[in-house]
Amino acid sequence: MKCIINRRAQFAASHRYWLPELSETENAEKFGLGARFPGHGHNYVLYVSMLGELDDYGMVLNLSDVKQVIKREVTSQLDFSYLNDTWPELQQTLPTTENLARVIWQRLASHLPLVRIQLFESPELWAEYEGNAMNAYLTISTHFSAAHRLALPHLTLEQNSEIYGKCARVNGHGHNYHLEVTVTGKIDPRTGMIADLTAVQNAIDTHVVEPFDHTFLNKDIPHFAEVVPTAENIAVHIRDLLRAPIRATGATLHKVKLIESPNNSCEVYCVEPEAQPVESGIEEPNLVEV
């Protein structure tokens, strides 16, 4: 049986977004606060995902061995470093989160059976890389607070209550929604960026956070006058709102994840994932994340 295992590691490092071929003014315009001298730092959290067959001892790999590989090849070299001056790859292409994830993959690929590198720059920003040339994913996490009521206008209160339970109560209820927007694209070989991060953040704020925050969705957002604002429908609407603005930044919207509460969340993709059919008599391999 195949199984995916994940190993967590961390390191602290600083970096600066600065290209010597650009002037100080041009760097400031392109990278904003990231261009400030002498740079800024992060407590990076790294997740290394590996795929393999379970052995007779119930393991894919010995995690003690995995730990030592990650330490030797990555964290011992990056911890308390200035990333721009460490590896040659980070001198050629700036050490953005997405490019750093890519380079870490390259450093580990010959030692571990990788399927994914996930690198958190902060709880609000992280990148994923899956070994696909210069293509990577970047996720921005944000939030808004809003109220809603789940009810179909042509049904009675009793009928809506049968479908939606307490969520059908006439005065509605509220949530602190957490929103994760994942974009994808090619890493620029010089800037290390999929797209202008500030532009992506501004698109999310302008088209979603500001219009949705502190609203009663059914009454304040025209779309939900006729569409029941379930978490699923809200996520679909956010996806549709962001497609064009994200495209304008140079990236492609990949996924929207809406977390309504610690117990409930949903994800919608720009290209919907296909269900994997299981033909009669054919056993599909089990993929288990540990």
**Does 134-274 match 1-131 at the fold level?**
yes
pLDDT at 271: 78
> Does 167 participate in catalysis according to the annotation?
yes
The pLDDT tens digits of the residues spanning 193-219 come to 999 999 999 999 999 999 999 999 999
Give strand pairing partners of 147.
174, 216
Length of the chain: 290
**Domain spans in the chain, listed from the N-terminal domain onward:** 1-131, 134-274
Counting residues of the chain whose pLDDT is more than 90, the rounded percentage is 91
Distance (Å, rounded) from C-alpha 169 to C-alpha 152? 12
Asked if residues 100 and 83 have their Cβ atoms less than 8 Å apart, the reply is: yes
The pLDDT tens digits of the residues spanning 149-178 come to 999 999 999 999 999 999 999 999 999 999
Whether CATH 1.25.40.10 fits 1-131? no
CB neighbours of residue 170 within 10 Å: 8
In the chain, the N- to C-terminal Cα span, in Å, equals 13
The pLDDT tens digits of the residues spanning 74-112 come to 999 999 999 999 999 999 999 999 999 999 999 999 999
Catalytic residue, from 167, 178, 267, 270: name it: 167
Q: For residue 173, give the amino acid letter.
A: H
Asked if residues 138 and 196 have their Cβ atoms less than 8 Å apart, the reply is: no
Residue identified by tokens 């409930």 is 264
Distance (Å, rounded) from C-alpha 176 to C-alpha 70? 37
pLDDT at 146: 98
> Does 175 participate in catalysis according to the annotation?
no
The pLDDT tens digits of the residues spanning 242-263 come to 999 999 999 999 999 999 999 9
- Reading the block at residue 18, the tokens are 């600065």
* Three-class secondary structure assignment of the chain: CEEEEEEEEEEEEEECCCCCCCCHHHHHHHHHHHHCCCCEEEEEEEEEEEEEECCCCCCCCCHHHHHHHHHHHHHHHHCCEEHHHCCHHHHHCCCCHHHHHHHHHHHHCCCCCEEEEEEEEECCEEEEECCCCCEEEEEEEEEEEEEECCCCCCCCHHHHHHHHHHHHCCCCEEEEEEEEEEEEEECCCCCCCCCCHHHHHHHHHHHHHHHHCCEEHHHHCHHHHCCCCCHHHHHHHHHHHHHHHHHHCCCEEEEEEEEEECCEEEEEECCCCCCCCCCCCCCCCCCEEC
> Does 260 participate in catalysis according to the annotation?
yes
- Reading the block at residue 5, the tokens are 């295992």
Asked if residues 143 and 177 have their Cβ atoms less than 8 Å apart, the reply is: yes
- pTM surpassing 0.75? yes
pLDDT at 74: 98
List of residues 6+ apart from 172 with CB closer than 8 A: 147, 148, 149, 216, 218
Residue 279 in this model has a pLDDT that exceeds 70? no
pLDDT at 247: 97
- Superfamily of structural domain 134-274: 6-pyruvoyl tetrahydropterin synthase/QueD (3.30.479.10)
